Structure 1
Amino acid sequence: MAAALLRQARWLLVDHPAVSSFRWQPSHTLGATPTFAAAIILGYLATVLLLRRVILPRLPPPPARALRAASAAHNAVLLALSAAMAAGCALSTYATAPPPRWRWPFCFPPGGATEASGPVFFWAHVFYLSKVYELGDTLLILLARRPLTLLHVYHHAVVVAMCYLWLATRQSLLPVALVTNAGVHVVMYAYYFSCSVGWRWPRRWKRAVTELQIAQFLFSFAASVVMLWLHFTDGGCEGMAGWVFNAVFNASLLALFLDFHGAAYAAAKGKKAGDKAE
C-alpha cells in the first residue's frame, strides 16, 4: 500500500509530463522576465500604499465572518501548496540528481552544464508564482485593519526578486532552500489556518513559529558553508550571483526577525512580569 502510494506520488510530482518536461524560457515561461518580477514588486508596493493611505480609510471594515472565511481559504490554499512544493522538490531532487547524489542539491555544475529544466526547476517555478499569490497575505492584514510591519512588506516584496533569480541564474542551493522554506511554510500556514477557523493556541505556539523561521535562516547559512566549500575546492558552482543576492537577503531577514522576536516577546514577558507584580 505504502509503495503504491509512493509510486503514485512520484508520478504526479516528478514524472508527470507537465513536470518532467518543464523548461524555463524567458520568451515563453510565465514570469520569466525581469520586467514581470519588477512589475509585480512595484505594483505590490503601490497597492499597499494606496490601500493604506487612500482607499481603506474611506471604506467600512468588511464583515468579520467574511474576512475569517477568506483568510481560512487563503491559508488552506497556501498550506496545501507548500506541502506539494516541499514534497515535489524533495522527490524530484532524489529522483533526478546525478551522482554523487548528495552534492547536486548544494552545488549545480557550472559553465552552462546546468539547464533550468526538469522537475526541480518546475517546482522552483511553482514556488516563484506562489510568492505572487502570497501577496494576498498583505491584503487580508489591511482589510482586517491590523498593523502592517516593515518586515512583512519587505519580506513579501523582495522574495519575488529572489525566486526570479533562483531560476534566472540556476542558483545552487535552490533545492535545499525550496524544501526548507516550503516545509517551514507548511507549519506556518497550518497555524494560520487553525487560527482563522477559530482554534485558539497558547502564545508560545506563535512564538515557536517565529523561532522556526529564524532557525530556517540559520540553516541556510550552514548550507551555504557546504556550497562555498564545494565552489572553491571542487570546480565551482552555478548561480553564484543569485546566491550572493539570496545570502544578503537572508541576512537582512534574520536581523529583522530577531528584532521582531525581541520586541514582541520581550515586551510580552515584561507585561506578564508587571501583571504578577500587581
Structure 2
Amino acid sequence: MTESRETCFWIFLFVLSKIPELGDTVFLLLKRQPLTFLHCYHHATVILFTAHIYVDFAATGIWFCALNYVVHAFMYSYYTVRTVGFRVPRWIAKVITCLQILQMVLGTAATAGAFYYKMRRVPCQMNGANIVVSLALYLSYWVLFSIFFRNSYVKTVSKCKTQ
C-alpha cells in the first residue's frame, strides 16, 4: 500500500483530534468528578497509539480512525446534549458503551487479520511492533470497557431487581 497525501493528511488530523478530546478530562476535573483508570489509561495510550499509526502508516490505521470517528460522533453528541441540560434516556448511554466495545472487537479483529497476513508473508504495511501494540491496546480496551459496562449497567439492574 502506498501512502497517499490525502490519507496522510486525514490520519494526521485524526492524531491531532486526540488533543482536544482531552477536554472531557478538563470538564471532569472542573466538576470535581473522579477520573477512572479506564479514562486516564485510554486517553494516554490512544494519543501515543495514533501517533504510532501515523508514523508507521499502519495498514489498519484507516480502519481504526474510521471506527473511532463514528463512535466518538455519537459519544460526544451525547455528552453535548447532556451538558446543555437535556435528559437523555439511560439506554442511549448503554448503546454508546456497546458501540465502544464493538469498536474494540473490530479493532482486535483487524489487527488479528493483519497478523495473519503477515505470518503468511502476504505484503502488508504493518510491522510486528505495531501488531503487538495494537493487539495489546485493543484487548485491554475491550476488557476495560466490558468491565465498565458490567459495573455501570448490569450490576445496577440486578441491584434494582433484588430490592
Query: Do they fold alike, i.e. is TM over 0.5?
Result: yes
2:141 is aligned to 253
Alignment of 1:191-270 (within 5 A): 191-233=78-120, 235-240=122-127, 241-270=129-158
In 2, are the aligned partners of 1:166 and 1:174 still within 8 Å (CA)? yes
> RMSD across aligned C-alpha pairs, in angstroms?
1.6
In 2, are the aligned partners of 1:172 and 1:243 still within 8 Å (CA)? no
Query: Match of 1:263, as an amino acid?
Result: N
Matched, 1:143 2:41: no
Offset of residue 141 of structure 1? 0.4
In 1, are the aligned partners of 2:115 and 2:131 still within 8 Å (CA)? no
Offset of residue 234 of structure 1? 5.2
Query: Match of 2:57, as an amino acid?
Result: R
2:60 is aligned to 173
Task: Give 5+ residue unaligned stretches, structure 1.
Answer: 1-107, 109-113
The list of structure 1 runs, each at least 4 consecutive aligned residues, that deviate by more than 4 angstroms after superposition, is none
Please tell me whether Structure 1 or Structure 2 has the larger radius of gyration of its CA atoms: 1
Query: Match of 1:249, as an amino acid?
Result: L
Instruction: List per-residue Cα deviations over 1:208-249 (Å, max 9, x = no partner).
Output: 111110011111122234323333335332232223212211
In 1, are the aligned partners of 2:108 and 2:134 still within 8 Å (CA)? no
Once residues 270 and 235 of structure 1 are traced to their aligned partners in structure 2, the CA distance between those partners, rounded to angstroms, is: 49
Q: What percentage of aligned pairs have identical amino acids?
A: 34
In 1, are the aligned partners of 2:19 and 2:47 still within 8 Å (CA)? yes
Task: Give 5+ residue unaligned stretches, structure 2.
Answer: none
- What TM-score do the two structures reach when normalised by structure 2? 0.91
Offset of residue 186 of structure 1? 0.8
Offset of residue 163 of structure 1? 0.7
Instruction: List per-residue Cα deviations over 1:14-41 (Å, max 9, x = no partner).
Output: xxxxxxxxxxxxxxxxxxxxxxxxxxxx
Offset of residue 148 of structure 1? 1.3
Q: 1:173 to 1:230 in 2, by over 3 A?
A: same
Query: Match of 1:203, as an amino acid?
Result: R
Matched, 1:127 2:11: no
Offset of residue 250 of structure 1? 0.9
Once residues 235 and 202 of structure 1 are traced to their aligned partners in structure 2, the CA distance between those partners, rounded to angstroms, is: 47
Once residues 210 and 157 of structure 1 are traced to their aligned partners in structure 2, the CA distance between those partners, rounded to angstroms, is: 19
1:271 is aligned to 159
Offset of residue 177 of structure 1? 1.1
Once residues 195 and 249 of structure 1 are traced to their aligned partners in structure 2, the CA distance between those partners, rounded to angstroms, is: 29
Once residues 111 and 83 of structure 2 are traced to their aligned partners in structure 1, the CA distance between those partners, rounded to angstroms, is: 36
When structure 1 is superposed on structure 2, of 229-238 and 195-204 the one drifting more is 229-238
In 2, are the aligned partners of 1:173 and 1:224 still within 8 Å (CA)? yes
2:40 is aligned to 153
Query: Match of 1:174, as an amino acid?
Result: G
**Counterpart among 42, 51, 70 of residue 183 in structure 1:** 70
Aligned to 1:134, what secondary structure does the other structure show?
Answer: helix
